[in-house]
Amino acid sequence: MFEHPDPNQYELGKDSFDPEGKLSYQNLRQVLLNPCDRIKFNSNETHDTYMASIGMGTPWAKYNFYVARINEIPPIETPIHKELKIHVSLKEEEWSRTLGWNIVKYVLGSKRVGSFKVIRPEYNMSDDPEQRGKDITIYAGYNRHLNVTSWLYILQKITITFVANGVKPGYRQQSTTEKPEEIIKGSKYFSYRYYDEIQKKSLPFPKPDPIEAIDLSCLVQPYEHQKYDRPASHDLSIMHLWNHKSL
Q: How confident is the model over 9-65, as pLDDT tens digits?
A: 544 446 889 989 999 999 999 999 999 999 999 999 999 999 999 998 776 788 999
Residue 237 to residue 229: CA distance in whole angstroms: 20
Closest to 169 measured CA to CA, from 223, 131, 216: 223
Mean pLDDT of all residues belonging to the chain: 85
Q: Output the CA torsion 54→147→22→121 (10° steps).
A: 40
Closest to 178 measured CA to CA, from 211, 200, 209: 200
Asked whether the predicted pLDDT for residue 233 surpasses 90, the reply is: no
| pTM reported for the whole predicted model | 0.87
- Please compute Rg for the chain using Cα positions: 17
Q: How do residues 129-150 score in pLDDT, each as one tens digit?
A: 888 899 999 999 999 999 999 9
| Terminal CA-CA length for the chain | 38
Residue 25 to residue 11: CA distance in whole angstroms: 16
- Alpha helices of the chain — where are they, by DSSP H? 25-31, 94-110, 148-164, 236-242
Residue 237: the pLDDT is 35
CA-based max dimension of the chain? 50
DSSP state of 207: S
Residue 98 to residue 93: CA distance in whole angstroms: 9
Residue 229: the pLDDT is 66
Residue 243: the pLDDT is 36
Class of the CATH domain delimited by 25-242: alpha beta
Q: Taking a C-beta distance cutoff of 8 angstroms, is the pair 79, 144 a contact?
A: yes
DSSP state of 72: -
What is the pLDDT averaged over residues 186-194? Answer: 96
Q: Taking a C-beta distance cutoff of 8 angstroms, is the pair 94, 121 a contact?
A: yes
Q: Tell me the three state secondary structure of residue 162.
A: helix
